[in-house]
Structure 1
Amino acid sequence: MKWFRKKSDNTSQSDPEISSDRKESSPPSDPFADELRKRMESAGLPDHIRIVARDEYERLVKTDKSSPEFALAHNYLEFILSLPWNVTTKDDLDLTRAKDLLDARHYGLSIVKERILEFLAVKSLHSRQHAKILLADDEVIARENLSIIFEGEGFDVTAVANGLEAITAMEKDPADILVTDLKMDGMDGLQLLQEVRRRWPDTGVIMLTGYATVKSAVSAMLKGADQYLGKPVNLTKLRDYVMELLSRNQRIQSLRGPVLCFTGPPGTGKTSIGKAIAEAMGRKFFRLSLAGLRDEAELRGHRRTYVGAMAGRILQGIQKTGVRNPVIMLDEMDKVIGDSQGDATAVLLEMLDPEQNSSFVDNYLGQPFDLSGVLFIATANIVERIPAPLRDRMEEIEFSSYTLSEKQEIATRFLIPSQLRQHGLNPGEVDLQAGAVKKIILDYTREAGLRGLEKQVAALCRKLARKVLDGGESSGVLKVEGADIQNIMGSPPHFTTTAKSAPKVGLATGLVWTENGGEILFVEAAQMRGNKQLILTGSLGDVLQESAQTALSFLRSSFETFNLSPEFFESSDIHVHIPAGAVTKEGPSAGVTITVAILSMLTGRPVRQDVAFSGEISLLGDVLPVGGIREKVMAATRAGIKTVVLPEKCDQAVRSIESEVLENIEVRLVSRLEEVVELALL
């Protein structure tokens, strides 16, 4: 490449070559510089990066090697050469293989897997489509020759004689690339160009003419032509222009795909599903943890003027994978910290925005790098903590809690054999019965995911390993049943909340959603002499306190409906308490439960303890919808609840719950509090 050739001070800038007598007086070549130059010539750098690299190289060879500036320039050039500017992996979009791989890696998660397979199916169909080229030229021979050339290269070609026919063809089936002559009857190339730009702005346009002039070229480019070629056509240049425009259009179309955001409780398989997607597609995988990230320089890098400057973690990940289109998992996105010291979400907005990430600028590199080929997958435990602009750029896929049978199956298939091997035990030496697995799940774990279960299985394996060595049980099979678990592992670490047995006055059972899945809680109400105070205890948040106030106001305004004395609150206080006061409680789901507890206390009618409630209330007595229905129903089943009362507008959420979860429980949908009272109070 001529731009690497050094010239002496007396060499004319207009002379592209160096004369022989000048070469004799040139200093001897530097092997280090020659090797670096060869690497730069063979790197296939984009034009704008090649110019930057050339300038940096010329500055480097003039700098003394002992100077600090030499090391800075050399490191910068090495970083440029290490980036995969044109290296990509071809996607493997075999849906059958992807399904088998997902099923082999993960049990359950049927809805999540279905959505991922849909995502891969769309990419597969898109990859099968042939690029469409529309040729508009009034010369028959030119149309036929170009048609033969492009059809031979796998394009779908349509050839027309003028602009009017081109518009008709575009209306039937818009083309990716339009190659048009300038001079044509009916509608010439410039008129066609204007119409295409107005109606099909994503179509690339290449203008051809036998009367090429600077004026006509400038006019065509100003009106929106992407390229301009004179006749006779240089076929090599035309091919290059077509492939360049086609690559741009395919990138734009691919950017319309979603950025996936996996949400759900910890330990439900979000990160491992991301790895499985990368494996199914045949792409490299890179995980980037965002937990505690506050400085945007961690993602975007530092400018080279700073001592010890380096690129951001995004380009470092691209460099590490060695390809331009890996799968990058942005883990724990809901734990990014934004404060006065910095806000990394601004960088994430640029990375995930399809209109911006094709020219992502790292501060260290100082030049745009195309991230449009990257498949970004984000994970979050509580998606509400993610800023709204970021959520708007992602498609949320919810990872629900595992059911008891799913946990048993996963433990039997994956966790137990793996932990036995890690603890030096042969899976054939230990027979862990289904009852033992069930007891570990129910009594020794309290979670939506599997991490706690894996820890308890590991603890059991350690104790079994000790038992094998101490008791000489190495010969034969060590059988572990449900009754043996407590003797081996000790008392359960968690207190399991179960439903009360007998109906009670002023005590109602509610259902709540937490980060670790669903739980039940009890709401207690009591009345005493006082001066019209509503006392709320149990570390209740603002929303819960407002629900209690709304419940009391509704009962006071509807005293006739429930046969209450109109003066029941005139000379008394009402105390509402939710036990476990050390745990902060918040959310709108307890409005119905609080109303039932207060009404039971006021009327003396006991509340059925095999019924649990979830729903918010309005001041007029309407039962309003809430979320987390599946987890709440699972919590009710675990606690021994027989009937769950839910808002009528949660009907769709109930229908989406697996039949296994609903097998031993009755779900009643209500729209008014009067309906709740009929079901709850004896």
Structure 2
Amino acid sequence: MKWFGRKSAENTRSEENINDTHAGLENVTESMADDICKRVDSADLPANIMNTVREECERLLKLDNTSPEFHIVHSYLEFILSLPWNETTKDDLDIQKAKGVLDARHYGLNSVKERILEFLAVKNLRSRISPNLIIADDEVIARENLSIIFEHEGFAVRTVGNGLEAVAAMEEEPADIVITDLKMDGMDGLELLEVLRNRWPDTGVIMLTGYATVKTAVEAMKNGADQYLGKPVNLTRLREHVQDLLSRNRRIQGLQGPVLCFSGPPGTGKTSIGCAIAESLGREFICMSLAGLRDESELRGHRRTYVGAMAGRILQNIQKTGVRNPVIMLDEMDKIIQNFQGDATSVLLEILDPQQNSAFVDNYLGLPFDLSGVLFIATANMVERIPEPLMDRMEMIEFSSYTPGEKLQITQNYMLPNQLLKHGFSVNELEVAPDALNTIIADYTREAGLRGLDKQIASLCRKLARRRLSGQEEALPIKLAAAEIHGIMGPPPHFSATVTKMLKTGVATGLVWSENGGEIIFVEAVRMHGSKNLLLTGSLGEVLRESAQTALSFLRANAGKFGLSDDFFETSDIHIHIPAGAVTKEGPSAGVTIAVAMLSQLTGRMVREDMAFSGEITLHGDVLPVGGVREKVMAAVRARISTIVLPAKCAQAVEQLEDEVLGGLEVRLVSRLEDALEAALN
């Protein structure tokens, strides 16, 4: 019995401890609710946001402290308070500084840098424009006092005595904001308001009157006034209203600002250029990878009805930066997954549309947040994979492949010094001859960008570090010549395709573009006894197959012109093959090459071994223009081709090529397939 009694006493003490613990928790949660409500009262939130937040605070105070709903509401209020509703970064629009930053971070890319500097120059000029204000009041003292106040704050102020004079001033130069009295001779404030809303709907209008009544206020706001204030005027409120209308007006004027999209092969500096733009502007930088994104809730957030709901990545990143106008880079936009499981591009349509993103609603927040101050920059390797509605909202800036000369300069001045320091060498302890670097570029990399080259330079430094510690390299500085590269780095990992010097029939060299840059391909054609079959192999896509069918139909329709019998296909099969069958090939630029290879086989005439082709064809023999001219020309130079045949409509693209890219290459422009065939066949 004593044992049970002692146990009962222990239980009693435990219950008392539990009650004390509950009381402590209740006090903590009550203080949490009081604390966040005090923070809400002192927060500088927009008026429409403040109303919703106060309702949530009242709801929080009524909730049971131990309920899950209490913590959900508390977390929601914490998130709202943490968002930068009014915090912005002032842009540094010094063009020379921006040019210096871009040049210091990147070698080459001159056309890209020029477009970015143009973009910053426009922002600079727009920032210099003084806001334009018209004050319409029949009292001279009133309008002169207001004029002195706003001129001191940087406004270009014009004063008029009535509505008629205000309309004339607007016709001379429209104002951003009109401050007008209600009672005036000639044309009063309401009549002026009607004219302004019909002719200049974007102009902000603030109505002032010494006869303020509920009726006149309702009538003015109903007719389109933005604000209505009584006299004597509260100057603090008037300034706030003017600044609010000015920011809204400037946002409307800047709605057509472009969203830049950097397109080009991997490793060409798209992301780092975006970082340089943010650095030159003095803004915060956010890089968001969209590769593999399939659910729009990752960007728009989850509704608070879900357990564990949170805001989308857009607002989360803005929350981390603490400002509402950062530079946000939407990386790898072309790799967003679009299938039956989801499509996140619908959210991007809203985010990147300046007509909509000023009131972006995240599902978790449930309130409009202004994204119009954000500078969005997108990147993509293959713009063809981006939906058309999304492309319409962006301005494409193409990043071209680096030339061998540019790669050499970048390696010497940036890449090699950085890798030496990372691997324990001083800059003066290793000297690599330019020929040795060119050997690495040509034999150990096969890319349009620089990532693979950077890895190979790092590999070279690692091997030299090991040789130095093993005693094989004692003398400093270490000097490397081109002849030593293969011995240090081993056999080249890539096979560089070059044209064969052996003349063959039925083999033509084509120029193609891939997301890794330009390449050459060999198209083979053979004719055999058969029953009118066209065989196509080499993992060809549908467009390439159609090009082959078109080439065959053109040759059959014009057999006499090329010395072929009209029935040459009646008892024959023709086989078209493009080697490297493990690699999928697709695109509209191989039609001329296939036609050349096919006619060479049918006529027995050999194709010039130093010539390559690119261009699409029609059934009537017209040669259509193709893209990727720069990369294709560079591939031809790399493969030691001396002459290339391109469509005549690519003439402008050829004229824009630098002498270093052409490398002494002869370019023949043709508009008809007959001209290409005549030039190709010996």
TM-score interval (norm. to shorter): over 0.9
Q: What is the TM-score with the length of structure 2 in the denominator?
A: 0.93
Map 1:453-602 to 2 at 5 A: 453-471=453-471, 473-602=473-602
Map 1:244-393 to 2 at 5 A: 244-393=244-393
For each residue in 1:484-535, what CA deviation from the matched residue of structure 2 results, as whole angstroms up to 9, or x when unmatched?
1111111111111001214332111110000100000111111112111111
Match of 1:19 in 2: none
Q: Provide the C-alpha distance between the structure 2 equivalents of 1:474 and 1:250, rounded to a whole number of angstroms.
A: 66
Amino acid at match of 1:122: V
For each residue in 1:4-55, what CA deviation from the matched residue of structure 2 results, as whole angstroms up to 9, or x when unmatched?
xxxxxxxxxxxxxxxxxxxxxxx99965445434432332122222223222
Structure 1 residue 97: Cα displacement:
0.6
Return 288-297 or 46-55, whichever deviates more: 46-55
The answer on whether the counterparts of 1:530 and 1:573 sit within 8 Å (CA) in structure 2 is: yes
Structure 1 residue 444: Cα displacement:
0.6
Unaligned runs of 5+ in 1: 1-26
Could you say what secondary structure the match of 1:299 adopts? Answer: helix
Assess, with a 3 A threshold, how the Cα gap between structure 1 residues 28 and 594 changes in structure 2: closer, same or farther. closer
Match of 2:9 in 1: none
Assess, with a 3 A threshold, how the Cα gap between structure 1 residues 28 and 117 changes in structure 2: closer, same or farther. closer
Q: Provide the C-alpha distance between the structure 1 equivalents of 2:570 and 2:100, rounded to a whole number of angstroms.
A: 68
Match of 2:107 in 1: 107
Assess, with a 3 A threshold, how the Cα gap between structure 1 residues 156 and 629 changes in structure 2: closer, same or farther. same
Match of 1:622 in 2: 622
The answer on whether the counterparts of 1:182 and 1:207 sit within 8 Å (CA) in structure 2 is: yes
Match of 2:19 in 1: none
For each residue in 1:411-433, what CA deviation from the matched residue of structure 2 results, as whole angstroms up to 9, or x when unmatched?
11111111111122222111111
Q: Provide the C-alpha distance between the structure 1 equivalents of 2:222 and 2:228, rounded to a whole number of angstroms.
A: 11
Amino acid at match of 1:680: A
Structure 1 residue 61: Cα displacement:
3.3
For each residue in 1:303-349, what CA deviation from the matched residue of structure 2 results, as whole angstroms up to 9, or x when unmatched?
22221111111111011111111111111111111223322111111
Assess, with a 3 A threshold, how the Cα gap between structure 1 residues 51 and 527 changes in structure 2: closer, same or farther. same
The answer on whether the counterparts of 2:498 and 2:640 sit within 8 Å (CA) in structure 1 is: yes
The answer on whether the counterparts of 2:33 and 2:74 sit within 8 Å (CA) in structure 1 is: no
Amino acid at match of 2:592: V
Q: Provide the C-alpha distance between the structure 2 equivalents of 1:182 and 1:369, rounded to a whole number of angstroms.
A: 34
Assess, with a 3 A threshold, how the Cα gap between structure 1 residues 28 and 470 changes in structure 2: closer, same or farther. closer
Q: Provide the C-alpha distance between the structure 2 equivalents of 1:341 and 1:370, rounded to a whole number of angstroms.
A: 29
Unaligned runs of 5+ in 2: 1-26
Say if 2:71 is the partner of 1:81.
Answer: no
Assess, with a 3 A threshold, how the Cα gap between structure 1 residues 472 and 574 changes in structure 2: closer, same or farther. closer
Could you say what secondary structure the match of 2:228 adopts? Answer: strand
Q: What is the TM-score with the length of structure 1 in the denominator?
A: 0.93
Match of 2:183 in 1: 183
Match of 1:236 in 2: 236
Match of 2:13 in 1: none
Q: Provide the C-alpha distance between the structure 1 equivalents of 2:559 and 2:150, rounded to a whole number of angstroms.
A: 82
Amino acid at match of 1:464: L
The answer on whether the counterparts of 1:612 and 1:645 sit within 8 Å (CA) in structure 2 is: yes
Could you say what secondary structure the match of 1:194 adopts? Answer: helix
Amino acid at match of 1:279: E
The answer on whether the counterparts of 1:502 and 1:608 sit within 8 Å (CA) in structure 2 is: no
Match of 2:223 in 1: 223
For each residue in 1:95-149, what CA deviation from the matched residue of structure 2 results, as whole angstroms up to 9, or x when unmatched?
1011001100111111111111111111111111110001223333333222222
Could you say what secondary structure the match of 1:303 adopts? Answer: coil
The answer on whether the counterparts of 1:262 and 1:397 sit within 8 Å (CA) in structure 2 is: yes
Match of 1:436 in 2: 436
Assess, with a 3 A threshold, how the Cα gap between structure 1 residues 570 and 31 changes in structure 2: closer, same or farther. closer
Q: Provide the C-alpha distance between the structure 1 equivalents of 2:643 and 2:360, rounded to a whole number of angstroms.
A: 54
Structure 1 residue 659: Cα displacement:
2.1
Could you say what secondary structure the match of 1:276 adopts? Answer: helix
Structure 1 residue 614: Cα displacement:
0.5
Q: Provide the C-alpha distance between the structure 2 equivalents of 1:129 and 1:554, rounded to a whole number of angstroms.
A: 62
Could you say what secondary structure the match of 1:255 adopts? Answer: coil
Q: Provide the C-alpha distance between the structure 1 equivalents of 2:525 and 2:416, rounded to a whole number of angstroms.
A: 46
CA RMSD of aligned residues (A): 1.8
Return 191-200 or 505-514, whichever deviates more: 191-200
Match of 1:399 in 2: 399
Assess, with a 3 A threshold, how the Cα gap between structure 1 residues 28 and 421 changes in structure 2: closer, same or farther. closer
Amino acid at match of 1:459: S
Amino acid at match of 2:529: R
The answer on whether the counterparts of 2:505 and 2:601 sit within 8 Å (CA) in structure 1 is: yes
Q: Provide the C-alpha distance between the structure 1 equivalents of 2:585 and 2:246, rounded to a whole number of angstroms.
A: 55
Q: Provide the C-alpha distance between the structure 2 equivalents of 1:168 and 1:648, rounded to a whole number of angstroms.
A: 56
Assess, with a 3 A threshold, how the Cα gap between structure 1 residues 164 and 609 changes in structure 2: closer, same or farther. farther
Q: Provide the C-alpha distance between the structure 2 equivalents of 1:404 and 1:28, rounded to a whole number of angstroms.
A: 67
Structure 1 residue 474: Cα displacement:
4.8
Structure 1 residue 472: Cα displacement:
5.3
Return 213-222 or 275-284, whichever deviates more: 213-222
Q: Provide the C-alpha distance between the structure 2 equivalents of 1:190 and 1:45, rounded to a whole number of angstroms.
A: 32
Task: Number of aligned residue pairs: give it.
Answer: 656
For each residue in 1:55-76, what CA deviation from the matched residue of structure 2 results, as whole angstroms up to 9, or x when unmatched?
2223333444433223222222
Q: Provide the C-alpha distance between the structure 1 equivalents of 2:347 and 2:126, rounded to a whole number of angstroms.
A: 29
Amino acid at match of 1:512: V
Amino acid at match of 1:451: R
Map 1:136-147 to 2 at 5 A: 136-147=136-147
Structure 1 residue 369: Cα displacement:
1.1
For each residue in 1:447-483, what CA deviation from the matched residue of structure 2 results, as whole angstroms up to 9, or x when unmatched?
0011111111111111111111112535511111111
Q: Provide the C-alpha distance between the structure 2 equivalents of 1:434 and 1:170, rounded to a whole number of angstroms.
A: 66
Assess, with a 3 A threshold, how the Cα gap between structure 1 residues 488 and 570 changes in structure 2: closer, same or farther. same
Map 1:625-636 to 2 at 5 A: 625-636=625-636
Assess, with a 3 A threshold, how the Cα gap between structure 1 residues 475 and 35 changes in structure 2: closer, same or farther. farther
The answer on whether the counterparts of 2:526 and 2:601 sit within 8 Å (CA) in structure 1 is: yes
Amino acid at match of 1:258: P
Assess, with a 3 A threshold, how the Cα gap between structure 1 residues 183 and 63 changes in structure 2: closer, same or farther. closer
Map 1:124-135 to 2 at 5 A: 124-135=124-135
